[in-house]
């Protein structure tokens, strides 16, 4: 089976940088994804790492180390609108590919 661990809450101030870590255990790993969800809203895809290293998309970057079963999401120049829940999700390979989501990290950005 799959399991993921991420912090339940993170707080930071506007303009700061925050890192949300995710460790996972899975069989047939094929990638780590990150999703953002505002209160009551739909999750939206942020990034995906299939290979080790850093992927950058604007203010957001995501990192993966497959040997450490570890990844993180880095949010820079935090804005109030970044206050949301962030979920890491691992994909498992095989004929039935599916994502297993972590329990989410609630990010609060303070003024």
Q: Which of 27, 67, 95, 111 binds another protein (CB under 8 A)?
A: 95
3-state secondary structure of 71: strand
Q: Is 102 in the site for another protein (CB under 8 A)?
A: yes
How many Å is the Cα radius of gyration of the chain? 14
Piece in contact with another protein (CB under 8 A), picked from 17-25, 53-61, 66-74, 92-100: 92-100
- Cα(20)–Cα(92) distance, rounded to whole angstroms? 22
Q: Shortest approach of another protein to residue 12 CB, angstroms? A: 21
**Residues within the interface to another protein (CB under 8 A):** 30-31, 33, 41-45, 48, 50, 87, 89, 91, 95-104
């Amino acid at each position: 089976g799959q399991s993921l661990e991420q912090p339940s809450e993170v707080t930071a101030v506007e303009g700061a940088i925050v890192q949300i870590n995710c460790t996972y255990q899975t069989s047939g790993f094929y990638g780590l994804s990150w999703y953002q969800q505002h209160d009551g809203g739909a999750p939206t895809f942020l990034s995906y790492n299939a290979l080790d290293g850093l992927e950058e998309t604007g203010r957001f970057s995501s990192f993966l180390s497959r040997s450490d079963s570890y990844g993180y999401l880095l949010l820079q120049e935090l804005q109030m609108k970044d206050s949301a829940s962030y979920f890491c999700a691992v994909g498992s390979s095989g004929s039935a590919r599916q994502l297993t989501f972590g329990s989410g990290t609630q990010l609060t950005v303070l003024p």
